[in-house]
Amino acid sequence: MSAAPMIEARGVHKYFGGVHVLRGIDVSLAHGEVGALMGSSGSGKSTFLRCLNRIEEPSEGQVLIDGTVITDQRTDVNRVRADIGMVFQDYNLFPHMTALENVSLGLIHVRKRPRSEAKDAAASALEQVGLANHLTKHPQQLSGGQQQRVAIARSLVMQPKAILFDEPTSALDPEMVHEVLDVMRTLASEGMTMVVVSHEIGFLRKVADQLIVFDAGLVVERGPAARVLDEPEHERTREFLRALR
Amino acid sequence: MTHALIKPRPIPLVLMFFASLGYLLAAPATTGTGVVMDVVMTVTVFVLFLFLFVPMQIDKGISDWLKNISALALLVLMIVTFFRWADADWGRLRYLFFNVEVMSRPGVMMRMLSGLWIAVQVFLFSLVLATLLGMFMAIVRSIVRDALLNFFIDMYVDVFRSIPPIVLLLVTYSALPYSGIILSPFATGVVALTLIEAAYLTEVFRSGIEAINRNQVLSARSIGLSAWQAMRLVVLPQSVRIVLPDYSNRLIGLMKRTAETSVIAIAEILKVSQDLQSQFVNATPMVVGALLYLVVLFPMTRIVSRLEKTRPRT
- Residue B1: the pLDDT is 41
Domain ranges of chain B: 2-88, 102-309
Q: Which residues contact B152 (CB under 8 A, 6 or more apart)?
A: none
- Residue B2: the pLDDT is 47
Position B26 confidence tier, pLDDT thresholds 50, 70, 90: low
Q: Which residues contact A30 (CB under 8 A, 6 or more apart)?
A: A5, A6, A193
Degrees (nearest 5) of the Cα angle A11, A167, A145?
150
- Give the Cα separation of A113 and A149 in Å (integer): 23
Residues A195/A7, Cβ–Cβ less than 8 Å: yes
Q: Is the dihedral of CA B191, B195, B196, B201 positive or negative?
A: positive
- In tens, the pLDDT along B231-279 reads 999 999 999 989 998 999 999 999 999 999 999 999 999 999 999 999 9
pLDDT over threshold 90, residue B73:
no
Number of separate domains in chain A: 2
Is this model's pTM higher than 0.95 or not? no
- In tens, the pLDDT along B188-203 reads 999 999 999 999 999 9
Position B79 confidence tier, pLDDT thresholds 50, 70, 90: confident
Position B165 confidence tier, pLDDT thresholds 50, 70, 90: very high
A196 and A233 part of one domain:
yes
pLDDT over threshold 90, residue B65:
no
Give me the residues of chain A with pLDDT under 70, please.
Answer: 1-2
* Closest partner CB to B223 (pick from A82, A90, A96): A82
- Residue B237: the pLDDT is 94
CATH number for A215: 3.40.50.300
What's the ipTM?
0.91
Domain extent for A101: 92-159
Contact A94 B216 (CB under 8 A): yes
Q: Which residues contact A56 (CB under 8 A, 6 or more apart)?
A: A14, A47, A50
A76 and A187 part of one domain:
yes
- Give the Cα separation of A60 and A80 in Å (integer): 18
Position B159 confidence tier, pLDDT thresholds 50, 70, 90: very high
B221 touches chain A (CB under 8 A): yes
Categorise residue A42: left if φ over 0, alpha if ψ from -120 to 50, beta otherwise. Answer: left
- Residue B59: the pLDDT is 63
pLDDT over threshold 80, residue B22:
no
Strand ranges across the sheet with A7-16: A19-29, A7-16, A60-65, A68-69
A105 and A145 part of one domain:
yes
Residues B156/B134, Cβ–Cβ less than 8 Å: no
- In tens, the pLDDT along A103-129 reads 999 999 999 999 999 999 999 999 999
Neighbours of A241 (CB within 10 A): 17
Choose one of A134, A159, A184: the last residue of a domain. A159
Contact B225 A78 (CB under 8 A): yes
Residues A164/A49, Cβ–Cβ less than 8 Å: yes
- In tens, the pLDDT along A83-108 reads 999 999 999 999 999 999 999 999 99
A41 and A112 part of one domain:
no
pLDDT over threshold 90, residue B11:
no
- Give the Cα separation of A33 and A57 in Å (integer): 24
Fold (CATH) for B102-309 = MetI-like fold (1.10.3720)
A68 and A120 part of one domain:
no
Residues of A contacting chain B (CB within 8 angstroms)? 53, 55, 78-86, 88, 90, 92-96, 105-106, 109-110, 154-155, 158
B29 burial level (CB within 10 Å; 0-12, 13-18, 19+): middle
To the nearest whole number, what is the mean pLDDT of chain B?
86
Lowest mean pLDDT among A1-15, B134-148, B166-180, B242-256: A1-15
- Give the Cα separation of B279 and B108 in Å (integer): 11
A133 and A208 part of one domain:
no
Position B61 confidence tier, pLDDT thresholds 50, 70, 90: low
- Give the Cα separation of B132 and B24 in Å (integer): 60
Neighbours of A192 (CB within 10 A): 21
- Give the Cα separation of A157 and A240 in Å (integer): 35
- Residue A38: the pLDDT is 93
| Helix, strand, coil content of chain B in percent (nearest 5) | 80, 0, 20
